[in-house]
A and B are shown apart, each in its own frame.
Chain A
């Protein structure tokens, strides 16, 4: 239950008289710099880096790409790739590339005599052992009756790993909960399904130990469900959480002071350079 919802209702009787209006505020303006949107992964594909200029808040023009930067991605094994500008701030490698777990990757952007730089480790992760569907026959309060999926995977390192999941139903990424972040504190990816015995799901249901997070979706028979499990760094996890928080704020006195999500890029650039290890699994919902 989001606190914001509580506030909404608590103030609802007041809100009968409350009103919103568009205001034009003479905002202070920060210095212009660049924003970077770059994610490289263990998938084999051309690496892409988007570099754009920051804009004044009220500037409603479409985003302006930075076209004259020198963009290099290197790793600690001595590999160096220079990315080429394609259009409107998009830079890419000519050939497909994939990250190797255990290596640290560095992005260097030279622009207007400033070097913007970020490094990230590509983390190890095991394959997903089990990805199965199961049926919850009765709505139990926490969850509606229906078909759900769960996964089991082992954790490579004893601590410090953070995950992000994307879930697809018949090749369509699910909205709303499509991106799920979870801090894995229990040393096992299947944290929320810890008590599920893949060999006897029915027993788990009988014992009421199923809580099908992190995939709280109700599927239909015949659906093909695919998950992408991104093993990410703690800093990136915190960046995404803060980004989500910022987008959820409504400016009331009950909000904490706003702050910029902490980028890993040096010299005051915004955005993030992430290096992720992706594992996939899929299943078809059957009776």
Chain B
């Protein structure tokens, strides 16, 4: 704390000493519900300007005299103020939504031309109201599924909310909800994401050009923000859908001073289980629920507190016998403080927990149970110093305490416990954004991250012929909990430049290094909640990625944005697994791991029509993602499970009259690589498959079209409004391959497929055929 105060003092002193000008600062909000508007543009007529930060705060520096300032935000009416500045001035603005624009499906909620004006590259920002217009499976709005329609972001596959960003693994994305890490972002094993659309304000995805403020994962930052809660009036929203229902209530606690938001959701997928042919399935329970809470309190004009929390759980039961549950819980307490008109700060205390457990109850006295969890506690301090109109500094630090319980196994009274692990992860950073002139902008920063394992047992392993650890131990060393058992640290430079060729065209480039110290042990294409998180240690070096990206952004007419980005990424210390690796309840996990390198590259194309009666976007990505790990694939490079050459998404939204909106999505992906048999051999009275090189074949291509029709309420003065949404997933009933397997036909398969028993066959499984769904949404 002393250091923070000292740095704060120095900053204020240094910059104040040279300040000859005045500041205009304040917050930009939505007039209807008082929500902060993030990324709103504050533009000076005389040149220069600023964007509001994540708390809707802005600060610009002007000289003494008359100034004209325009506040704008996409989907809202501009507001221009003219005033004479003779001292530091606070201007809080409330913008009025343009009712007509609410229907548009747009990716960026910023002002038209903002992609060119905005200096960022490899970033996607979406507001919830836009995401809600895109048709989705089972009528359930899903922010994670929606972002996979964008270039460079791939879905983990049907029935998965896992995502892969620019050739990175699913555990290489940092997903944060109001700053708290969400370790498992999926419900029902990946069919839904944990983010309730009604509770979410919007999100930002950094595929590259990650600001120095963030770190800890290699591939991306997915920053999801909850709504603050309507500070003007009590309001509610909800929906009744085919799979789940939800209700959100929000309102002022003390008008314009404090507000709350509470949102709940519960699925009832298990209502369908009695119709299943399998008796075991009929007796099962299967549901999820989640709860989002947020409240904020304005202590003074310069101080504001936010408290937010998430709690979600998946529950699965097989008769009375077997129970399985997992869930996230997060809590974030934030204090915004405006030290002066140039210095904005936020301090956060965060708790995040993911736990997973199952139990088997044989009878009253006989049961076994398994539990594992990862809990993080962290503190953060972030400062934004608006030095002048051209120069903004962002700096701060964070300290995370990780508490890993890889597994507790209880059978009757016998308890087996895998080594609990504790670690500190910390970082300090500084980032400087400097507008050299109206055309040329640079942002550069440096992050130093460090990681220390505390206590525990360190294992030394016998090395195989490639120098990789193998599961026989040579040495065990125990450490006290207060002792650092090993330590890592590294510098992560970040830089971006942008150059506006003219008002409609910009060229941007970025480089960033990211380091990742914790990862998930998953040997499958889709991660399970059971897959344990583990940290870097004496055997597992931190993962490091270096990425460069170059982009050309061009706007046409008034409402077409286009962009092309190319990237190349190098990844060190990538992890793969020995054949037959045992990753479950294994204290000596490192002996199952293999280490190598990865690289990925690609080109991303994007066309976005932002306004008019027809809106939408086309996104196409050509990409390649490779790994080379000694001990796998004869030490040759191999494509990752998610290496897809072509990814195309087309999203269109068409207004029909005043009340109907028709929207459609078309998705086309190259098939995922997999390793089919290249032959068979006879052993012990049966055929056994022979496998060749890793991922040497691709399943057939994936494509699908979804349609959605929304009927909006009539214009009226009534507060209660409801709308209907009809979505049809996979309208042309394409049987996309979910899995292909290669069995020796048993009697049942022989009869079903008309082959001889014992024939070796290929069977394709398709999950979702055409699925219509109807959702009734309301708000008041």
Contacts and interface: CB of A to CB of B under 8 A. Distances in A.
Interface of A: 1, 3, 5-25, 27-30, 32, 35, 37, 50, 52, 54-58, 60, 63, 139-142, 208, 238, 241-243, 245-247, 249-262, 270-272
21 contacts: A8-B278, A9-B316, A13-B286, A14-B159, A17-B767, A21-B764, A22-B761, A22-B763, A23-B763, A28-B692, A50-B682, A52-B681, A57-B689, A57-B742, A60-B759, A140-B365, A249-B741, A252-B738, A257-B675, A258-B677, A270-B690
Given A254-B528, A258-B691, A260-B691, A9 B280 contact: yes
Contacts of B275: 16
Nearest to A29: B678
Interface stretch (B225-233, B265-273, B395-403, B714-722): B265-273
A57 B677 contact: yes
Interface in B302-348: 316, 318, 322, 324
A14 B697 contact: no
B284 A9 contact: yes
B741 A253 contact: no
B136 to A, nearest CB: 15
Interface in B137-165: 156-157, 159-160
B358 to A, nearest CB: 8
A259 to B, nearest CB: 4
Interface in B180-214: 188-189, 191
Interface in B733-756: 735, 737-742, 752-756
B683 A35 contact: yes
B155 to A, nearest CB: 12
B762 A54 contact: no
Contact of A141 (B284, B366, B682, B684): B366
Dominant secondary structure at the A interface: loop
Nearest to A53: B681
A24 B737 CA distance: 13
Nearest to A249: B741
A30 B690 contact: yes
Contacts of B270: 13
Contact of A238 (B191, B580, B741, B752): B580
A21 B734 CA distance: 13
B577 interface: yes
Contacts of B676: 25, 27-28, 57
A12 B273 CA distance: 7
Interface string B750-780: 0011111001111111111101000000000
A279 B637 CA distance: 47
Contacts of A15: 276, 767
A271 B682 CA distance: 8
Contacts of A255: 524
9 shortest interchain CB distances as A-B pairs: A141-B362, A251-B741, A141-B366, A35-B681, A30-B678, A259-B579, A253-B525, A253-B526, A141-B363
B760 A57 contact: yes
Contacts of B765: 18-20, 250-252
Contact of B191 (A14, A29, A243): A14
Interface string B206-248: 0000000000000000000000000000000000000000000
A37 B281 contact: no
Nearest to A260: B691
A137 to B, nearest CB: 14
Contacts of B742: 57, 251
A259 B530 CA distance: 22
Contact of B763 (A14, A21, A139): A21
A246 to B, nearest CB: 7
Contacts of B739: 250-253
Contacts of A208: 412
B360 interface: yes
Contact of B679 (A29, A50, A249): A29
Nearest to B689: A246
B688 interface: yes
Name, among A15, A28, A271, the residue most crowded by chain B CB atoms within 10 Å (CB to CB): A28
Contact of A9 (B159, B286, B412, B530): B286
Nearest to A14: B767
A13 B269 contact: yes
B257 interface: no
Interface in B504-519: none
Nearest to A254: B524
A110 B159 CA distance: 50
B558 interface: no
Interface of B: 156-157, 159-160, 188-189, 191, 269-270, 272-273, 275-276, 278, 280-281, 284, 286, 316, 318, 322, 324, 358, 360-363, 365-367, 412, 523-526, 528, 530, 577, 579-581, 641, 674-684, 686, 688-692, 694-697, 735, 737-742, 752-756, 759-769, 771
A12 B691 contact: no
Name, among B679, B735, B753, the residue most crowded by chain A CB atoms within 10 Å (CB to CB): B679
Given A21-B764, A142-B362, A251-B742, A1 B322 contact: yes
A241 B697 CA distance: 26
A252 B699 CA distance: 12
A256 B676 CA distance: 13
A100 to B, nearest CB: 25
A271 B690 contact: no
B690 A260 contact: yes
B679 A21 contact: no
B697 A243 contact: no
Nearest to B678: A30
B362 to A, nearest CB: 2
B680 A55 contact: yes
B140 to A, nearest CB: 13
Nearest to B284: A9
B767 A56 contact: no
Contacts of A57: 676-680, 689, 742, 760
Contacts of B756: 60
A20 B679 contact: no
A41 to B, nearest CB: 15
Nearest to A259: B579
Contacts of A257: 523, 579, 641, 675, 694-695
Contacts of B156: 253
Contacts of B677: 27, 57, 258
Contact of B276 (A12, A21, A35): A12
A211 to B, nearest CB: 10
B683 A28 contact: no
A246 B697 CA distance: 18
B316 A21 contact: no
A161 to B, nearest CB: 16
Nearest to B686: A247
Given A20-B752, A28-B692, A254-B528, 7 more contacts: A9-B278, A14-B191, A27-B762, A52-B682, A252-B526, A254-B524, A270-B688
Contacts of B322: 1
Contacts of A6: 316, 318, 324
A14 B272 CA distance: 9
B316 A10 contact: yes
A247 B741 CA distance: 10
Given A60-B760, A140-B363, A28 B579 contact: no
A35 B695 CA distance: 24
B94 to A, nearest CB: 45
B692 A13 contact: no
B728 to A, nearest CB: 13
Name, among A8, A30, A245, the residue most crowded by chain B CB atoms within 10 Å (CB to CB): A30
A241 B580 contact: yes
Given A6-B324, A16-B275, A242-B579, A35 B682 contact: yes
Contact of A12 (B284, B358, B686, B759): B284
Nearest to B740: A251
A90 to B, nearest CB: 12
Given A23-B762, A141-B366, A272 B678 contact: no
A245 B738 contact: no
A52 to B, nearest CB: 5
